[in-house]
Chain A
Amino acid sequence: MQDSSTIEAQAPVTQKRSRSLINKLMNMSDRSMAWLFIGPTVVILLLINIFPLLWTIYLSFTNYRANQPTRDIEWVGLRNYERLLNSEDIWGYLQVTAHFVCWTMILQTIIGFGLALLLNRNFKGSSFFSTVILIPMMLSPAVVGVFWTYLFQPQTGIMTYIINFFGNFGPVDFIGNVDLAPWGIVLVDTWMWSPYVMLICLAGLKSIPPSLYEAAEVDRASTFRKFWSITLPMVLPFLLLAVLFRFIENFKMFDLVNELTSGGPGSITELASINLKREAFEKWRTGYSSAFAIILFVTVFGAGNIFVKVLNRVKNR
């Protein structure tokens, strides 16, 4: 009995206190609300982004190895960076990355822009088919890599069957063959990401005012002239945005290629990120790989800066 009476006596007090807290919250100034709203995001950002970045920078000047945590950490200055920039292997991996990035950008631009031009004719069912075409880019890249290895099986895969339909080529090996593997990864990435370029180009095409074409028609401009002087310059900022984003994404490409070829055969398709994973998580050269990570990050960050500038320009049109 005694217990319940004390609870009864306390209840109004706590209620009052919580009500006053709510009142305080409800009546807070704009300034404190701005801090309360943005603060948590900034804290998470500092914790998961900025702090690790600073740590990586520190580690890149040491010889730390994550699999030997008790070993003394030695400050080695710029030695990791020197070793990286003088290593022929690293330039090899960057060349592999460049081949992959350039060809995927070229092919995705052609296919994506082409599809956008066609879809812009607004035929019956065009919006349905544009959604269907978009499906590959929403899938998990790692899982896409896994099932393409099945399609690419040299002895039994459907790719070999399709190619042999057009002539007797024998088993076609997009994963294990030294000449074909670099194109295998380009093919799958293009299949997956052309829709991305298509979607952005389509938005660009839709933003062109029809009055421009009407004026050109009055001037009896040829179809080619209309494309060259109206369509292309108007879509270009959009295309640039798409291509730049593809550059950033493919420069740091890991998941798809790791599942498809995991860098093989040998190191023919070993992209920068895949090499980084080997150095950091298989050979455990944490200091050295931190330096490599910083170099990659600076490159992507630079491209990202341009990306945001283009983004804002497109947005303000």
Chain B
Amino acid sequence: MKGLSTSHSVVAPTAWSKRFAALVVVFYAVVALVPIVWIMLTGFKSPADSISYPPKFIPTLSEVEEKPGEYSPYYQMTLEGYVNLFTSRSRQSKEYLDSLPPPETWYDELVRSRQMVITGASNFSQRYGNSLIIGFGSTFMAIFLGTLAAYGFSRFKVPLKDDLLFFILSTRMMPPIAAAIPIFLMFRATGLADTHAGMVLLYTAVNMGLAVWLLHSFIDEIPREYEEAAMIDGYTRLQAFIKVVLPQATTGIAATAMLCLVFAWNEYAFALLLTSGSAQTAPPFIPTIIGEGGLDWPAVGAGTTLFLIPVMVFTILVRKHLLRGITFGALRK
């Protein structure tokens, strides 16, 4: 044993192989991040800069002198994309613009410099709000029901337990478009189409598979002896569940909730087919942000950025439980 600890271990990788691995991995990570960084920077370009070729790579805060016919890699960062994302505008004649009182805010001024006036707010903030309401609503429901069901499956003898668990998981495997046909008809018949309640119910059902399986694996890890001890002390089973099991399962519940939230936040197929206006979430809305002559790329970039940042934060927060999450509780580190 002593000899082994002084000489280098036979299974530990050598310094050179580590360096090589690090080089390749860092290269891959940088390349993989380029598309995300690129679209986020596009949110700060002007529409003209967003479609110039060769592309402009280097953002600056100062004004860039444009010489006709000469390529410069610099572009001045602007909030035009964000303004366009949150407003709807209309083009006006120069005479009309001159007749208006001077612009009151910086965004009015920005829009006027493009020969346009702001006519109102766009639908983006409402769609983003829908994403939040439906995401949090369905996550809460799925976690509430999922925790109860997971405890039931973990601790009680349930007839047909394995079949039930498989059926619950199969909700995740159904092709969304195939499921959307009858659900579309159901929602139409019950008036749930394009309502928050309908979408919350639907996402709760789809998230149930993940919630039950994941929480089942978390609760299985809590020793039964804890509850049994509490019950000997005079707690009933329900009291033991609330006062002993739930506090032990907090981490698992939080991790599961974040993964459910990410799913509901990202969902597109059901939202596209079952909502059109008042309950539409952001994913089907972002591709419809249209400027003059095709997609308004800086506005799409701005919307994408605002939509992706929460998910990136969550990814970092749940990184320790991601493996368990994507394998429905089968694998843990």
Contact = CB atoms under 8 A, between A and B. Distances in A.
Nearest to B35: A151
Contacts, number: 296
Given A52-B183, A277-B177, A217 B11 contact: yes
B29 A44 contact: no
B301 A241 contact: no
A286 B181 contact: yes
Contact of A200 (B204, B319, B326): B326
Contacts of B24: 118
For chain B, which range describes its interface: under 10, 10 to 19, 20 to 34, or 35 or more residues?
Answer: 35 or more
Contact of A156 (B21, B55, B152, B331): B55
B322 interface: yes
A100 interface: no
Would you call the interface of chain B mostly helix, strand, loop, or mixed?
helix
Instruction: Output the residue of B35, B265, B273, B304 with the most chain A CB within 10 A.
Output: B35
B301 A44 contact: no
B236 interface: yes
A44 B18 contact: no
Contacts of B179: 49, 52
Contacts of B273: 277, 281
B268 A131 contact: no
Contact of B18 (A34, A38, A121): A121
Contacts of A124: 22
Contact of A41 (B208, B283, B304): B208
Would you call the interface of chain A mostly helix, strand, loop, or mixed?
helix
A26 interface: yes
B173 A248 contact: yes
Contacts of A241: 327, 330
Given A41-B168, A142-B283, A286-B181, A199 B237 contact: no
B158 A34 contact: yes
Interface of B: 10-11, 13, 17-19, 21-22, 24-26, 28-29, 32-33, 35-36, 38-39, 42, 51-55, 145-146, 148-149, 151-153, 156-158, 164, 166-171, 173-186, 188, 201-202, 204-205, 208, 212, 236-239, 262, 265-269, 272-273, 283-284, 286-287, 295, 297, 300-301, 304, 307-308, 311-312, 314-316, 319, 322-323, 326-328, 330-331, 333
Given A38-B158, A42-B164, 20 more contacts: A38-B152, A45-B208, A49-B170, A52-B179, A119-B21, A121-B21, A129-B29, A134-B315, A134-B322, A141-B266, A145-B287, A146-B287, A147-B304, A150-B295, A151-B39, A158-B38, A254-B176, A301-B173, A303-B173, A314-B330
Interface of A: 25-28, 30-31, 33-34, 36-38, 40-42, 44-45, 47-53, 55-56, 59, 66, 115, 118-119, 121-126, 129, 131-136, 138-143, 145-151, 153, 155-158, 160-161, 191, 196, 199-200, 203, 206, 210, 213-214, 217, 238, 241, 245, 248, 251-252, 254-255, 258-259, 273, 276-277, 280-281, 286, 289-290, 293-294, 296-297, 300-301, 303-305, 307-308, 311-312, 314-315
